[in-house]
Amino acid sequence: MKHLSAALIPALLFPAIAPAQSVFDLDEIVFSVNATQTELDRIGNSVTVITQDDLQNTGDLQLTEVLARLSGVSLWQTGPQGSVADIRIRGAQGRYISVYIDGILVTDPASPTISYEDFGGLTTGAIRRIEVLRGSQSALYGGTAVGGVINISTIAGTEAPEGTTQTATIEAGSYNTVALSYGLTQRNGPVTLNLGLDHIQSDGFSAADENAGNTETDSFERSRLSFGMKHEVNGSLAFGLNGFIETGRSDADEFHDSPVDGSVGDDFGTRDAYGLRAYAEGTLGAWDHDAALGIYRVDRRNASLTLGAGAPGYLSPFDNTFSGRRLAFDYTASGQLSSALQLALGANAMRETGIAASVPGGSATVDTFGVFSEAIWSPSDQFDLTTTLRRDDHSRFGGQTTGRLAFAFRPSEALVLRGAVGTGYRPPSIDELFGAYPESDFIGNPDLVAEESFSAEIGSDYAFAGGGRIGATLFQLDVDNLITYCSAYFVADPGCPPMVAPAPATLFNVAGKSRRRGLEISGQLPITDALMLTGAYTYTDARSGTGAPLTLIPEHDIVLGIDTTWGTGWAGSLTARRVIGTLEGGLPLPDYTLVNASVGHEISDGVEAYLRLHNLLDAEYQTRRGYGTSDRAVYLGLRSRF
């Protein structure tokens, strides 16, 4: 803990932010945890709710910076904004996390592990709400929701105020970064319309570490349009349509034995995606019915058209394109069977297709059909017990049964005791099974079997008189049949079989259980009406089936902050994050402290100017070995609501 001193001193002198204070709002309605919306204090799983106000208070433009400050959440990134980033929940990689944007599942069927591959480029501009759900959730969400679910909303529903509301933001700063955002919500009686526009461009910095002599800047550009419409026909029927279109390009660097500058301008990736969701909500008798049909498509290109002079002979130029497509149908019926029992029944059908030259025949398709039931038993005002059971039929791996049991007990108005256990599974992706990449000497393994998981947690939330709150959770996540990358050219991960060059790299199921266990703590303490202290801490012990530490998972992750307001219309914030005990390739990454600050002033009604400082102490640090991170950076912005 002595390493925290450099972070604690400025944290006590300057204001800071708490991006997830609403986790303690026990009257908050949560939409992601159960089949029907549920009050936060009736939920057994650990969940964080981030509102639009929380996002504005942080001042962060890149969503990963907000998420990384939550307890139980960590990340690594391979360079500036737009580069590859992997969000981890309780040490579970992105391949174990289901990500939804406006109700559309946006994990990429053509990506190496069916994960959401755009966290590095996603901005906070048009986001209205985020729910981060921890623990195995396959019983409700099916495969890949082993580590948790991230549900992002950019459109407003019928909670929007009557009339027209508009928001606009412009920001500019270091690395020639310019970001623009505009949002429109119009509600006229039963009809609600939404429109969101976002654009960001930046010259960036070198993805390969500048301290290793890399000087080529890696730029990024991204544009996004989101839209939505909901019509309440009457008190028992409503229907709607929402969707998004986005396009982006980001430069990258070559990877030899470590990241290095390549040929200028020809190492890059492009990404184009769209999603569309049509839905209907209705009440028939004592039952509420919800049905939705969604489509999602993402097209990616990753290219290194020439190789730098220092490239080793076993590498070759490449220009790969990938197309992932998903068609999904969801149906849920829920009803209050008695004063103590609520029941939900549902069915899901999904077709996923991966199209790429690396797949034999050029494409492969997977079909999944699932049914589930969920019961919430509330024998008193103080206790809720939720049980969920699901059966999936996967076209390549057959049947999978998963379940979840969660409880919430409120012995007093100030205290909530909660806990949950759940099972999950993750089928191998199309790429993991069949991918073939001659330029990187990798082939998939069609003999892989599905990973299976068990998670458990127990925790409590307590509200002190005067507004102070604290929450703590003990957690465990075990994964059987862990899919592991094995190569003759790199240090073998624990459990890999012996491999001798020139055998190509591939994937294997490692025997035994990989375990992730730990503790999450978060809290807030008001010092005065204008000053709030906040904090979050995560301890994670993550090990493979052989007992060796898992890579890129911090052992200790500590966040301290202060929020304050003063004068007329002034607000300030500062956070200090300390990351300790991260391994990569069996070797430790240096511990680091990252400090961010912001100050804002309401210059007129509904108009605010702000200054944001990233990496205030100009720390030298890495989240992946050999990849660059931002130096001290300054951004100025203006936002309005009218």
172 forms beta bridges with 178, 636
**Which structural domain range is residue 516 located in?**
2-641
Q: What is the CA radius of gyration of the chain?
A: 24
Q: Give residue 13's pLDDT.
A: 30
Rounded CA separation 442/438 (Å): 6
Task: Please list the rounded mean pLDDT of every run of 10 residues in the chain (642 residues).
Answer: 34 33 61 90 93 82 91 93 93 94 95 89 89 93 92 83 92 96 93 95 94 92 96 93 96 89 88 97 94 97 88 83 96 96 97 91 93 97 97 92 96 96 93 82 89 96 93 96 84 75 86 92 94 96 89 96 92 95 92 96 93 96 95 96 89
Q: Give residue 308's pLDDT.
A: 81
Length of the chain as a residue count: 642
Q: Give residue 16's pLDDT.
A: 34
Q: Give residue 361's pLDDT.
A: 87
Q: What is the pTM of this model?
A: 0.92
271: which residues sit within 8 A by CB, 6+ positions away? 117, 118, 121, 246, 247, 248, 249, 250, 298, 299, 300, 301
- What's the Cα-to-Cα distance from 168 to each of 59, 63, 308, 638, 642, rounded to whole Å? 14, 18, 43, 8, 9
- What's the Cα-to-Cα distance from 30 to each of 25, 151, 477, 517, 633, rounded to whole Å? 11, 11, 23, 25, 35
> Torsions phi, psi of 431, nearest 5?
-70, -40
Q: Give residue 3's pLDDT.
A: 37
- What's the Cα-to-Cα distance from 453 to each of 91, 96, 254, 521, 543, rounded to whole Å? 13, 10, 35, 24, 14
Rounded CA separation 27/470 (Å): 16
Tell me if 525 sits within 8 A of 468, measured CB to CB: yes
Q: Give residue 405's pLDDT.
A: 97
Number of domains forming the structure of the chain: 1
The three-point CA angle 245-248-254 to 5° equals 150
Measure the N-to-C terminal CA separation of the chain; round to a whole number of Å.
46
User: If you ran DSSP here, which 8-state letter would residue 208 be given?
Assistant: B
Q: What is the CATH number of the domain that holds 125?
A: 2.40.170.20
> Torsions phi, psi of 10, nearest 5?
-65, -30
